[in-house]
Structure 1
Amino acid sequence: MGAGKTSVGRRVAKHLGRRFVDTDAVIAAEHAPIPQLFVERGEAAFRAIERDVVQRELATGGVVALGGGAVLDATTRAALAGCTVVLLTVSEQAVAARIGDGRRPLLTDGLESWRRIAAEREPVYAALADVVVDTSRRPMTTIAAELAAQLQEVAP
């Protein structure tokens, strides 16, 4: 959370001439805002919706930004097997300014929640990642241009 998946993903897709989709935006457009889904239907229902949306969007190709918890689902991890997976990381210091928007239902106690969730998910993220990029200290435009060039070499 807060690593810049949407910002970087949108720019990478533009560099590569591919379509971009943010699965969280698709979920919100098709169902309800994510915080509302969490309140009204619970996390388990949200994760089921998320799994279906991720599978559908991965099948259509392009650059797909997944919500941070999507990879906790085994079916989603299996769907990523044929994809180049980019892990965007961010330092605690940099993310502090990015997560204060109140739109992240799992961050009930701010930075402390982020720390706990990041630590829990890190092994899964690391196991899936083909490319790792830190977004803490450089402009997203620079990161995206460099990542797009790297991806053209890895998966032309």
Structure 2
Amino acid sequence: MTAASLVLIGPMGAGKTSIGRKVAKALGRPFYDSDTAVIRAHGPIPQIFAEHGEDVFRAWEREAVSAGLARGGVVSLGGGAVLDADTQTDLAGHRVALLTVEPRVVAARVSGTARPLLGDDDGLARWEAILKEREPVYRRLADRTFDTSHGPLQRVVEAIAQWVRDEEDV
């Protein structure tokens, strides 16, 4: 099994996919996104939730996460992937970066998107409730935290890439 050099975790809208792609490029490593893997194998996430339910989605997500961690490189996990006990155990062998974002910033990032857990009503309030529930898990699993709320995201990309390089030089 190849160890992933970096795993990105965090709430919906924190930028895990876009930042992950750029960090992978900066480090010259492959990029893997668990949500993209689920979509490729099973179809759009809202459709999976509607037709099969969250439990089936989480099982498929776990398979995707396991495959990504085995592959190595930079791995971006869906916001709820860390709730799985096996995933939590697996992350112990990897460098984990938590991406955070302020609610006022995430509101613009997730508005108009099809995110099943945010529902049709007050998506931001639902996002905040989900974050409150998951945040202790994120914090426990993370080796380092990076906020994506301010400034150009490229600055976050550079900080993460430098952290990985520094850790590998030790």
Identity of aligned residues (%): 54
Are the equivalent residues in 2 in contact too, given 1:88–1:135 (CA < 8 A)? yes
Q: Which runs of 5+ in 2 are unaligned?
A: 1-11
User: Is 1:147 the counterpart of 2:160 in the alignment?
Assistant: yes
Distance 1:22 1:139 in 2: 22
Matches within 5 A, 1:4-153: 4-108=15-119, 109-153=122-166
Distance 1:144 1:129 in 2: 17
Three-state SS of the structure 2 residue aligned to 1:49 is helix
Deviation string for 1:126-153 (max 9, x for gaps)?
Answer: 0000010000012111110121011111
Distance 2:112 2:156 in 1: 23
Structure 1 residue 102 displacement after superposition? 2.4
Structure 1 residue 34 displacement after superposition? 0.5
2:125 maps to a residue whose letter is: E
Structure 1 residue 101 displacement after superposition? 2.8
> How does the TM-score come out when normalised to structure 2?
0.89
Cα separation, partners in 2 of 1:132 and 1:32, compared to 1, 3 Å: same
Q: Which runs of 4+ in 1 moved over 2 A?
A: none
**Total equivalences in the alignment:** 156
Distance 1:24 1:140 in 2: 21
- Measured on the aligned residues, the alpha-carbon RMSD in Å equals 0.9
Distance 2:97 2:104 in 1: 21
Three-state SS of the structure 2 residue aligned to 1:102 is coil
The equivalent residue for 2:8 is: none
